[in-house]
Chains A and B, each alone.
Chain A
Amino acid sequence: MSAVEMGLLLALVLFALLGTGLWVALSLLAVGLFALTAFTGAPVGLALGTSFWGSIATWSLAPLPLFVWMGEILFRSRLSEDMYGGLAPWLRRLPGRLLHVNVLGCGVFAAVSGSSAATAATIGRMSIPELRRRGYDEKMIIGTLAGSGTLGLLIPPSIILIVYGISAEVSIARLFIAGILPGLLLVGLFMAYVAAWSLVHPDRTPPADPALPFGERLRASTRLIPVLALIAAVIGSIYVGVATPTEAAALGVVGALVLAACTGGLSWASFSAGLMGAMRTSTMIVFILACAAFLTTAMGYTGVPRLLAEWIAALELSPYALLAALTVFFVVLGCFLDGISVVVLTTSVILPMVKVAGIDPIWFGIFLVIVVEMSQITPPVGFNLFVLQGLTQKNIFRIAVAALPFFFLLLAAVVIVTVFPEIATWLPQRMSG
């Protein structure tokens, strides 16, 4: 059997199992077992025990549960209100007015949270009713939130970049820093689109709220200081190299607890609910990582990724053609799978061929995450769409249509980052250490 045939057979088994509704982690485990028993004589049980223990009981995984916890604490705090109150008074003059609250609010919250769904939910909870009350265009409210929510994946801290860093064995600190400029690029693209849209449709933007006096505006913005300080402490300490991502995450948890306590959003009930919620989310992700680590080991025994990489290399595609093909592949995959599953499958099978093509793994992580962001807003499986469905009670396909312009903006960002890879690679090259 050739490598391509083996690869296709394994992919078929995987999608058949996923299609019947078997949990993603267990499907990865099943395919790994199948690959080992069908194609190799490797000791299956030993490989299973050691890859589970070796991949999970490690200090390098520690930032994942901690950043999940930090996000859960802030999700339950009053940050949502403070963010709206602090940002809105400054944005009334821009074309598009308060729609920019969604973009900027998501951008700021993304810098303390590693999840796109939590970002969209936190900002949307406050801004949807406020913007609706003022008569903003429903489609734009939903679209900006769905699109900007995905910034949670790219702007550090990012759970999915940790998952990529762990499974691709790339420095998480560098990945985080690499995500900053592409994240800001996306914020810029989204804001430009909102401004352009409202200049074309002036009749669909409601009038500005009466201006608040300057002093009043400043006072409202002081509510943003704690969260900005938290961002500076967490990301700044990683950038200047005084803290590892794990230490920054532990610091972030303490900062989030202090912030929640000071704004009166911390009780024993919310503390334990946040901790239990974080435990479940992080268990789900870490179990997928454990099973993916076993699948990677199994794939290593079969030699399929290496053979596929050689096969791709023999095709002599240009890196651009390879990236274009991968983009299409990931977008299709992302229609049915969540982002973390896409990332772990990629690193198990596709990373060797990417390395053979001479693509920088840090840059590839950023590319992959932007493509995964696109998959967050494509039906039928797009987590931001589910969140907005919960918040607005609208049909999921109507939400997807509202999010479509932002899908194309993300695609534009993929093209820009591919043509100018320095956007992702310049900052990490400047890091100390």
Chain B
Amino acid sequence: MRAILDRLYLVSGVLAATALAAIAVLVLSQTIGRLFGVLVPSANELAGYCVAASAFLGLAPTLNHGVHIRVRIVTQHLSAPVQRWLEGWCLLLGLGLSGFATWYAIDLVVGSWRYGDVSPGLLAVPLWIPQLGMAAGLSIFTLSLLDNLLRLLRGREPLYREHESQEAGR
């Protein structure tokens, strides 16, 4: 199970990074295309979809690397058992919030699919396709919060803990 989950987070992260690189490729091809009078259809919309895919698919790996910002100035002065309780509270509340957001992200995809919404540009992309990236990313994020909560309940450390302890990051 552990191996499958870690693989899932990795794939999600690699897809997010690929989407980020794709933004650069799209913008560049549009700029270069303009110089030679070649039109890259809907490059702006596609770049926007890549921003969304990159940000939402990146959520879970970013969590596990301890990069999502949180205020630790209060909690780090508390005793270890209290810290564990608070960590559980954060993960439980986060799970609820993320689960709620996931539900409505899926709702958005289903709505776009049912009503056949398409993007405004030249390429009429059915909107449910890019929105699927957001729904999938939020689902994996919800799963990773649940994963970390279960680890905590079994008396183990959350995955992001080791990165957070080297606070000197950016």
Q: Are both chains from one complex? A: yes
A284 to B58, CA, bound (A): 8
List CB contacts (< 8 Å) of B33-82 with chain A.
44-45, 47-52, 54-56, 58-59, 61-63, 65, 67-75
Size band of the interface chain B makes with A: 35 or more
A389 to B24, CA, bound (A): 34
- Which residues does chain B contribute within 8 Å of A246, judged by CB atoms? 27, 47
In this assembly, does A266 line the interface, its C-beta being within 8 Å of a C-beta of chain B?
no
In this assembly, does A234 line the interface, its C-beta being within 8 Å of a C-beta of chain B?
no
Closest to B138 in A: A52
- Which residues does chain A contribute within 8 Å of B73, judged by CB atoms? 336, 380-381
In this assembly, does A48 line the interface, its C-beta being within 8 Å of a C-beta of chain B?
yes
- Which residues does chain B contribute within 8 Å of A118, judged by CB atoms? 170
In this assembly, does B93 line the interface, its C-beta being within 8 Å of a C-beta of chain A?
yes
Contact, CB under 8 Å: A23 / B23: no
Contact, CB under 8 Å: A336 / B97: no
- Which residues does chain B contribute within 8 Å of A387, judged by CB atoms? 168, 170
The answer to whether residues A276 and B13 also contact, given A23-B90, A58-B51, A250-B28 and a CB cut-off of 8 A, is yes
- A371-397 CB mask vs B (1 if < 8 Å, else 0) is 000000000110100110110000000
| B168 partner, pick from A49, A340, A381, A389, beta carbons under 8 A | A389
| B27 partner, pick from A52, A61, A250, beta carbons under 8 A | A250
- Which residues does chain B contribute within 8 Å of A423, judged by CB atoms? none
Contact, CB under 8 Å: A19 / B68: no
In this assembly, does A181 line the interface, its C-beta being within 8 Å of a C-beta of chain B?
no
In this assembly, does A50 line the interface, its C-beta being within 8 Å of a C-beta of chain B?
yes
| A62 partner, pick from B21, B51, B93, B167, beta carbons under 8 A | B51
| A279 partner, pick from B31, B52, B54, B90, beta carbons under 8 A | B54
The answer to whether residues A386 and B105 also contact, given A26-B93, A66-B23 and a CB cut-off of 8 A, is no
| B108 partner, pick from A24, A53, A62, beta carbons under 8 A | A53
| B17 partner, pick from A46, A117, A251, A279, beta carbons under 8 A | A279
Contact, CB under 8 Å: B31 / A52: no
- A42-83 CB mask vs B (1 if < 8 Å, else 0) is 000110111011001111011011100100000000000000
In this assembly, does B149 line the interface, its C-beta being within 8 Å of a C-beta of chain A?
no
In this assembly, does B126 line the interface, its C-beta being within 8 Å of a C-beta of chain A?
no
List CB contacts (< 8 Å) of B75-121 with chain A.
75, 86-87, 89-90, 93-94, 97-98, 100-101, 103-105, 107-108
Contact, CB under 8 Å: B59 / A283: yes
Size band of the interface chain A makes with B: 35 or more
Closest to B19 in A: A279
A–B pairs, 25, beta carbons within 8 Å:
A17-B93, A19-B75, A21-B70, A21-B87, A23-B68, A49-B108, A53-B52, A53-B134, A56-B51, A57-B134, A59-B45, A62-B27, A65-B55, A69-B20, A254-B28, A272-B17, A275-B20, A275-B21, A278-B17, A282-B55, A283-B59, A283-B67, A284-B67, A338-B69, A386-B168
The 5 A-B pairs at the shortest CB distance, nearest first, are namely A390-B168, A283-B58, A286-B55, A57-B52, A250-B27
Seen from chain B, the residues whose Cβ lies within 8 Å of a Cβ on chain A are 13, 16-17, 20-21, 23-24, 27-28, 31, 44-45, 47-52, 54-56, 58-59, 61-63, 65, 67-75, 86-87, 89-90, 93-94, 97-98, 100-101, 103-105, 107-108, 130-131, 134, 167-170
Seen from chain A, the residues whose Cβ lies within 8 Å of a Cβ on chain B are 17-26, 29-30, 33, 45-46, 48-50, 52-53, 56-59, 61-62, 64-66, 69, 115, 117-118, 121, 243, 246-247, 249-251, 253-254, 272, 275-276, 278-284, 286-288, 290, 336-338, 340-341, 380-381, 383, 386-387, 389-390
